[in-house]
Amino acid sequence: MVRIKGNRIFLKVFLSVVMTGLLVFALDCNSSPKTPSQDTSKNIETSSAAPQAQGLIQQLSDAFETASTRVSRSVVSIFAEQIVQVQNPFGMPDDAFKDFFGEDFYKRFFGAPPSKSEKQTVRSLGSGVIVSQDGTILTNNHVVDKADKLSVVIGDKKTYKAKVIGTDPPTDVAVIKIDANNLPFATLGNSDEVKVGQWVIAVGNPFQLMHTVTAGIISAKGRSSVGLADYEDFIQTDASINPGNSGGALADLDGHVIGINTAIESPSGGNIGIGFAIPINMAKQVMAELMSKGKITRGYLDLNPQDIDEDLAKALKLRDTEGALVANVTPGGPADKAGIKQGDVILELNGQKIKNSSELRNRVAQLGPGTSAKIGLLRDGREIQVSVILGERPKGQAQGSPREEQPKETMSRKLGLSVQTLTPDIAEQLGFKGEQGVVVTDVVPGSPADEANLQSGDLIKEVNRGQVRSVNDFEKAVKGLKSGDVAALLVRRGPAVFYKGLQIR
């Protein structure tokens, strides 16, 4: 990464020269009239600074040109075709034309009688990055998903048939292959080393405009909760990314690919300066496992982690919001066997700090099933270490949803919600069989409960670490709360269990 550092130094010098020029201009505009000799001195200084600034601008232009040339030759167009069934192609009720004209009419004029459905080919365009001279290509899963036919067009306009080597929907990574040799392939960089503010280019095929290069900076790193994939650690960039760019390259000014362009955030469908790319380190790891095993296996703790906000930190008497709060531990799972408990805060994994629940999930997933890991916990103000043998993450876990609202029993004006004791009948209806607690039956708009996103059908199991079995328990737990206090509620929603911090007004 030597040239990246050099580019940064040169950019600082460039900006310094520009700012110096602006300062000289401002001082000149606000100063008293100059004598002829003073004006001559100023002109000499200006004429000597201009070539220096032009030289720096040319160096920046050269850097972009070189990087674009290196990356573009390894970026390909991927055409996906999918055959789908289309019902009622004439837009009429079933057999309407057949009943009126008869089958002979259609056989004579159209070659076949009308049908209830017909096959139609749907085509889409994406991008990919050649990563080996023999035609291995890295792209997004959503570019090739459900495709019946894949075609790849490389820079010389030659078209190849492609086959899928493997896909990983949880990260939106896919690997495909064409039968070719001596292809130009990309140099893959190290996405862990990229910096916010660093210049980058995006290369792809937006709107069928082949090999389009756009430029921008790294806007942010480690973006999660974007809703694009199960495992998210996106690089955010303002380099223009549009439909067709998916699977293309995000590269630094050395021409090293540091990410795979994946999606944009846009209300209109076009670029507004918020694009996301899968870090190349994550993509490389997934690609290697897909090519060697044909599938992905991930480590698993079998617990529900969640982020810690300021209200929760205050309610649980935590020193800050760092770490992942354990909302629930599955009995008999790897975490349970290691002694991890509900309410613990996971601070470290194998000696490396954990900032939030997404980072914990991603880091655990990168470790293979059966791996032994060291986990640093915060429990009741004490830091402890436990060892865990990771399990294998199961596929297709079902997500629950809240059920119908139940009749009100008691109202907590402090929290802005109504609850009733969980009965066996209600537990059966809501899927809480064997649980204890109070069920939320109503939430007051604009209340602390509403701001914490509590919903009808949620089951409150604890208040400030105290177990709640009935409405009476709940009322006692919230009775002593006063304005400014924060209540930590342990909540179950469907199969998910999590903590919520509610600020009392």
- Catalytic residue list: 142, 172, 246
Q: Would residue 24 be called left, alpha or beta, if left means φ above 0 and alpha means ψ between -120 and 50 degrees?
A: alpha
Kind plus residue range of the DSSP H or E element containing 122: strand 117-130
Backbone angles phi, psi at 468, to 5 degrees: -115, 120
Tell me what the pLDDT averaged over the chain comes to: 79
The 10s digit of each residue's pLDDT in 149-194 is 999 998 767 899 999 999 999 999 999 999 999 999 999 999 999 9
Over pLDDT 70: what percentage of the chain?
Answer: 77
pLDDT bracket for residue 267 (50, 70, 90): low
pLDDT at 408: 36
Most confident of 196-205, 234-243, 391-400: 196-205
Region 282-299: mean pLDDT is 91
pLDDT confidence band for 228 (50 / 70 / 90): confident
Specify the pLDDT at position 469.
85
Architecture of domain 74-296: Beta Barrel (2.40)
- Give the residue extent of every domain in the chain: 2-72, 74-296, 299-392, 410-503
The pLDDT assigned to 115 comes to: 55
- Quick one: average pLDDT of 7-27? 46
Q: What is the C-alpha separation between 226 and 387, in angstroms, rounded?
A: 31
Q: Which is more confident, 279 or 36?
A: 279
Average the pLDDT over each of 6-15, 77-86, 237-246, 277-286 and give the range with the smallest value.
Answer: 6-15
State which CATH number among 2.30.42.10, 3.40.1160.10, 3.40.190.10, 2.60.120.200 fits the domain covering 299-392: 2.30.42.10
Beta strands at 417-421 and 410-412: parallel, antiparallel or unpaired: antiparallel
Mean pLDDT across the stretch 319-334?
A: 90
Q: Is the pLDDT of residue 270 over 90?
A: no
Q: In this predicted structure, what is the pLDDT of residue 111?
A: 54
For 160, counting Cβ atoms within 10 Å of its Cβ (0-12 exposed, 13-18 middle, 19+ buried), the class is middle
Residue 183, amino acid: L
pLDDT in tens, 417-428: 888 888 776 787
pLDDT confidence of residue 165:
93
pLDDT of residue 250: 94
Is 359:346 a contact under the CB 8 Å cutoff? no
Task: Say what the pTM is.
Answer: 0.64
Residue 400 has pLDDT above 60, yes or no: no
How far apart are the C-alpha atoms of 194 and 192, rounded to whole Å?
6
Sign of CA dihedral 281, 284, 289, 294: positive
Q: If you average pLDDT over residues 319-326, what whole number do you get?
A: 90
Mean pLDDT of 319-345: 91
Are 191 and 154 a contacting pair, CB within 8 Å? no
Distance of CA 282 to the CA centre of its chain: 12
What is the identity of the amino acid at 62? D
pLDDT score at 282: 93
* Domain 410-503 falls under CATH 1.10.40.60: no
Q: What is the mean pLDDT of residues 296-318?
A: 88
pLDDT digits (tens, 9 = 90+) for 462-497: 998 888 888 888 888 888 788 888 889 999 998 888
**For the segment 53-110, what is each residue's pLDDT rounded down to a tens digit?**
887 888 888 888 888 889 889 999 999 888 766 555 444 454 544 554 455 544 555 5
Q: What is the pLDDT of residues 109-127, one digit of tens each?
A: 555 555 555 677 777 888 9
pLDDT of residue 402: 30
Query: Which of the four pLDDT bands, split at 50, 70 and 90, describes residue 3?
Result: very low
Which pLDDT does position 123 carry in this prediction? 78
Of 5-14, 115-124, 334-343, the poorest mean pLDDT is in: 5-14
Average pLDDT for residues 138-149, to the nearest whole number?
A: 90
Give the pLDDT score at 403.
31
The identity of residue 359, as a single letter, is: E
Six-digit token pair at 94? 């079933």
With beta carbons less than 8 A apart as the criterion, state whether 421 and 438 touch: yes
Residue 316 pLDDT = 85
More confident call, 340 vs 18: 340
426 three-class SS: helix
- What integer pLDDT is reported at residue 156 of this predicted model? 65
Cβ pair 252, 200 in contact under 8 A:
yes
Domain 299-392 and domain 410-503, same fold? Reply is: yes
Cβ neighbours around 185 below 10 Å, total: 18
